[in-house]
Structures are given as C-alpha cells and as structure tokens.
Amino acid sequence: MSYILSITTLACINMIAVLGLAIFTGFTGLFSFGHAAFMGIGAYVSAILTYYYGVPFPLALACGVAASSAASLIIGIPTLRARLRSDYFAIAILGFGEALRVILENLSITNGARGLPGIAPYTTLPVVVLCLGLCVIVARNFLQSRYGAACIAVREDPVAAEMSGIHLFRTRLLSLALSAAYCGLSGGLLAHYLSFIQPVMFTLVQSTQILAAVIAGGLGSISGPLVASFLFIALPEALRVAQMWRLVAYGLILVLIMLFRPQGLLGHQEISRLFKRPAGEDH
C-alpha cells in the first residue's frame, strides 16, 4: 500500500513539472530541453533553506519557486529577445541547464556533485495533491485569461499575433517564467520527498522525460500531458520495468509520435470534452 502511495506521490510531483512545460511548449509553442534545470533550482534552494537555515517548509518552497522563476529570466531575456530559431532556443536552454549543473556541482553549500543527503521529508501525498490541484486551477485560469489567449495566438502564428498588437517577447517570457515556477515547485517537493538530491538528477534525461510527457499527451492540452505523465510513471512501476527499458520506450514514443501523431494523444482536446463529444472525433 505505502508503495502505491509513494508512486502516486512521485507521479503527482512529476505532473506539476509537466504541467509547467505544457504551458510553455504546448500553449506557447516553444520547445525546451532544459526544464529539469528549473526543477534543480527549486529543489536546491528550498532544500538548502530547510536543511541549513531551518526555514519553514512552505516558505522554503515559495523561495524555490521564486528562484527558478528568476533564473528563467536570466536565460529567457537574452535568448527570447534575440528571437532565436526555435531549435536554437531549445539548445540554448539545454546549454543553460548543463552550465547550471556544473555550477551546482562546484558549490560547497550544495555539497557538490555528491549531493545533499538527509533533507527532512516534509512532502506527503496530501501536500502534493493540494499543490497539484492549485497548479491545475492556476494553469486553467491563466490560459483562459488575456495572457493565455496571447500565448496561444503566438503559438499559432507569431507574425499575425504581433501584428494584432501582442508583444511577442513579453508573452513568451511570461510563459517561460510561469513554467519555470511550476518546475521549481515540483523540484522543491521532490527534494523534500526523496530527502536526497544531487545535480545529476536534473539533467537532459529528466528534461526529456518531461518533454516526452508533454508531447505524448498533446500540445495544447492540459489533461493530456497529465495523463501521459501519470502513465509514464505508473505503468513502468506497475509492470516493474527497469529504468533502462523505460528510457528505451520514451525514445521510441518521441519518434513514433512525431511520425504518426504530432499533435499528441489528445491533440488540443481536454479529457472532459472527450466525454461530452463522441470519442475519437478529431479537433
């Protein structure tokens, strides 16, 4: 039983990060191979605050969220302003993530590459579910707001969006900062769940896992990536598949989805709509 609970907790923590990337990639149309770095910042900032300074857990989490959001501006402002080609942007953020990891590996407060053991396990399932619920509500409201509409417009046609008075740079930066905040929260929760973090957890592999869930779930959907992320965590655990086979499957899924269903499993739809309309109807 407690094993199932722990898998559910991990899946929910992962879903928060996936939700963040869904806002950025799914709704704003920019890809990132580096969002694990934002998880890393959230994890390290909150863990260091509770571990060394005894800061209360909610406050530490909030600081982690703020820090990853702020860090996203560091890479976001120059690259988004320069209007890099979309694949160059994905690579620039990958470079940012790798550089950040090397820095984490060399600070003494993070205990370097060896990782920080013995973080207090504050994260429990109710806490995670509460956070996830709040995140979903915030994401929905954001996407239904003026800003969310601007994001979708930018994704569909940047030129047309710009012509109709949407500030491309600001819209993308806002979306990036919000998605980084989600990842920061996810990282903070992860740190206080695992009670051990090290820089190598927040690498390209982790970024790929988040991205795979977003792509597989459907670009432009909230529920799709959430379901995909849950399946990605829960299925291999239920089948007791080794980590390596899981990664083999992630790679294959990325390729197959690009080849046969680039809009993802749900496309632009939400699960709730599947029940209202006849299932399988295309967007």
Partner 1 sequence: MMRRALAVLSCIALLATAAQAAEDVIKVGHTVSLTGGASMWGQSEKNALELLIGKINKDGGVLGKKIVLVSYDNRNDPVESVNVARRLVNDGVVAVIGPAQSGNSIATAPILERAKIPMIVTTATNPYVTIDKDTGKVRPFAFRPCFIDPFQGTVAAQFAYTDLGAKKAAVLYDVGSDYGQWLAKYFEEAFTAKGGEVVAKEAFRSEELDYRAQLGKIKGLSPDVLFLPTTQKEAAMAARQARDLGITATLLGTDNWGSPDLIDLGGSAIDGGYFVNLTDLSDPDIQGFVAEYRAAYGEDPVLPNPVMAGDAIYMLVDAIKRAGSTDGTAIAKALEETRDLPVVSGKITVNPEDHNPLNKPAVIQKVDTKAHAFVFVKKYEPGD
Partner 2 sequence: MFLQTLFTGLSVGGIYALMAVGYSLIFSILNFSNFAHGSVIMLGAYMGLGLASKFGLKLGFVVAGAMAGGGLLAVLNERLAYRKLRHRNAPSLYLMISAMGCSVFLENMVYVTIGSRFYAFPEFFTRRVVTFLGSSVSVMDLFALAFSLLAIGALGLFLARSRTGIAVRAGVCDMTMCSLMGVDTDRLVALVFLLAGALGGLAGTFMGVRYLVYPTMGWITNKAYIAAVIGGLGSLLGAIVGGVILGVVETFISAYVSSVLRDVFSFTILVALLVCMPNGLFGKSMEERV
Bridge partner residues of 116 (DSSP): 197
d(CA 235, CA 250): 12
Site for partner 2 in 92-121 (CB under 8 A): 92, 95-96, 98-99, 102-103, 105-106
Cα–chain-centroid distance for residue 80?
19
Cβ nearer to partner 2, comparing 105 with 273: 105
**Residues 189-248, interacting with partner 2 (CB under 8 A):** 205, 208, 211-212, 215, 242, 244-245, 247-248
Note whether 55 and 200 are within 8 A (CB).
no
Q: Which of 33, 51, 193, 202 binds partner 2 (CB under 8 A)?
A: 33
Least gap, CB of 274 to partner 2 (angstroms): 25
Q: Which of 47, 52, 42 is nearest to 100 (CA)?
A: 42
Tell me which residue has tokens 């560091």. 74
Interacting residues toward partner 1 by CB under 8 A: 2-3, 6, 102, 105-106, 112-115, 117-118, 194-198, 200-201, 242-244
In the complex, minimum distance from the CB of residue 88 to partner 2, in angstroms, rounded to a whole number: 5
Of residues 13 and 215, the one with the C-beta less far from partner 2:
215
Q: Are 266 and 217 in contact (CB under 8 A)?
A: yes
Q: Is 145 left (phi over 0), alpha (psi -120 to 50) or beta?
A: beta
From partner 2, partner 1, none, interface partner of 252 (C-beta below 5 to 8 A by class): partner 2
- Candidate residues 84, 138, 234, 274; the one interacting with partner 2 per rule CB under 8 A: 84
Query: Which does residue 267 bind out of partner 2, partner 1, none, counting CB within 5 to 8 angstroms by kind?
Result: none
Q: Which of 235, 262, 271, 283 binds partner 2 (CB under 8 A)?
A: 262
Partner from partner 2, partner 1, none binding residue 79, C-beta < 5-8 Å depending on class: partner 2
Binds 129: which of partner 1, partner 2, none (CB < 5-8 Å by kind): none
82 binds partner 2, rule: CB under 8 A: yes
3 binds, among partner 2, partner 1, none (CB under 5 to 8 A by kind): partner 1
- Which residues are at the interface with partner 2 (CB under 8 A)? 31, 33, 75, 78-79, 82-92, 95-96, 98-99, 102-103, 105-106, 158-159, 205, 208, 211-212, 215, 242, 244-245, 247-248, 250-255, 258-259, 262
